[in-house]
Amino acid sequence: MAYTTIDKPSDYFDTKLYTGNGGTQSITGLDFAPNFVWIKKKSAAGSHKLFDTIRGATEVLRTNLNDAEATQSTTLTSFTSDGFAVGSNGDVNGNTNTIVSWNWKAGTSFTNDASSTSVGSIDSTGSVNTDAGFSIISYTGTGSVATIAHGLGVTPSCFITKCRSNNGTSWGMYHQSVGNTAFMEFSTAAKQTNAAYFNNTSPTSSVFTIGTDTINNGDGLTFIAYCFNDVQGYSKFGSYTGNGNADGTFVYTGFKPAFVIVKLTSGSGEHWYIQDATRDTFNPSAKRIKAQTNDAELDNTAFNIDFLSNGMKMRNTNAGHNGSGSTYIYTVFAENPFVTSTGVPATAK
């Protein structure tokens, strides 16, 4: 029976919906103080806006753009004990717009002086939550193969890097199901092979490796990394093969999903599709947001997924989710564990 150390996933991850007012407002009601907030306007086109407590409020990165970090004083203006405050920026608080935010907790300050600790070869600082398997790490590139402490204490399943100081540098992702010889970007491309990204080296329980490419290690450039590991009953990073059938592939996670990202890796032309149990409160889930475009939310039964008590089942034949013989990676966070630490089972939506 799949037990968990996290009985209440919403203590570490949660989705909040709100309606913009065009002025200022506080978004409250989370059961934690968020350290990483991802905001997307649903009802109209608008950039994804990503914020974290290491870079600071008003400092924006966008998954639909390869721009450097930008200071936008009317976006997320502060992090609070149970949410965040926003200003008048149209992407985060446009009047009458409906908006979704996805929120994660890290919380414990992290500093590694590589020369003193002999862990890694580049200094790193950030915030880490070992219970939830999540850390936010800041570092400066050298242009040479390097290792960086991530603070998780176990091997990361996935980490995402973004250059903060250079325009035109894409997002780069290591995912354990893709492996250390390939990488993913927030684009419609398939997985790509390039030893200059991770030096063909998997992360360890203490460090992750970066190669010589500017995507994650440009000399003198500043970077942020979001690192995650699988946590039983709370998060899972894996892959599956589509069957091209409306009675589609079942993916076992060991918990009821709250948040899902799926991406085709064996071919090109498909998006990073985000679905969650807050925007769709009943099965099937059909409302999707594309992580690498500024498109509004789409609601289409061609992307139906059932969120079950112990995983997810594709209910479509779409190439973005369930093409016959196609390979996909996924990132999933829990609404409820399949079975709690006290033996209480979850139920489907």
Phi/psi at 93 (nearest 5 deg)? -160, 30
- Is the pLDDT assigned to residue 349 strictly greater than 60? no
- Is the pLDDT assigned to residue 343 strictly greater than 90? no
For the sheet containing 305-308, what is the strand order?
250-252, 311-314, 305-308
For residue 346, the model assigns a pLDDT of: 59
Exposed/middle/buried for 45, CB within 10 Å: 0-12, 13-18, 19+?
Answer: exposed
Domain ranges in the chain? 9-104, 111-228, 235-337
For residue 195, the model assigns a pLDDT of: 94
For residue 30, the model assigns a pLDDT of: 98
Name the pTM for this structure: 0.96
For residue 340, the model assigns a pLDDT of: 65
**Is residue 277 within 8 Å of residue 284, measured between CB atoms?**
no
> What is the token pair recorded at 147?
């290792």
Q: Which residue has the tokens 């050298």?
A: 142
Mean pLDDT, to the nearest integer, of 142-155?
A: 98
- Is the pLDDT assigned to residue 231 strictly greater than 80? yes
- Cis omega before residue 257 (within 30°)? no
For residue 120, the model assigns a pLDDT of: 98
Mean pLDDT, to the nearest integer, of 231-254?
A: 96
The DSSP symbol for 230 reads -
Rounded alpha-carbon distances, angstroms, from residue 40 to 51, 64, 82, 95, 252: 12, 11, 19, 14, 28
Q: What percent of the chain has pLDDT over 70?
A: 96
CA separation for the pair 206, 246 (Å, rounded): 42
- Is the pLDDT assigned to residue 344 strictly greater than 70? no
- Is the pLDDT assigned to residue 347 strictly greater than 70? no
- Mean pLDDT rounded to a whole number for the chain: 95
- Report DSSP letters for 330-341, one per residue: EEEEEEEESB-T
The DSSP symbol for 231 reads B
For residue 125, the model assigns a pLDDT of: 98
pLDDT band at residue 4 using 50, 70 and 90 as cut-offs: confident
Mean pLDDT, to the nearest integer, of 234-260?
A: 96
For residue 334, the model assigns a pLDDT of: 97
Contacts of 344 (CB under 8 A, 6+ apart): none
Q: What percent of the chain has pLDDT over 90?
A: 94
- Is the pLDDT assigned to residue 146 strictly greater than 80? yes
Tell me the pLDDT tens digit for each residue of 97-128: 999 999 999 999 999 999 999 999 999 999 99
**Is residue 180 within 8 Å of residue 202, measured between CB atoms?**
yes
**Beta bridge partner(s), residue 296:** none
> What is the token pair recorded at 321?
């989710």
For residue 174, the model assigns a pLDDT of: 98
pLDDT band at residue 342 using 50, 70 and 90 as cut-offs: low
For residue 2, the model assigns a pLDDT of: 55
For residue 348, the model assigns a pLDDT of: 54
- Is the pLDDT assigned to residue 131 strictly greater than 70? yes
Tell me the pLDDT tens digit for each residue of 263-298: 999 999 999 999 999 999 999 999 999 999 999 999
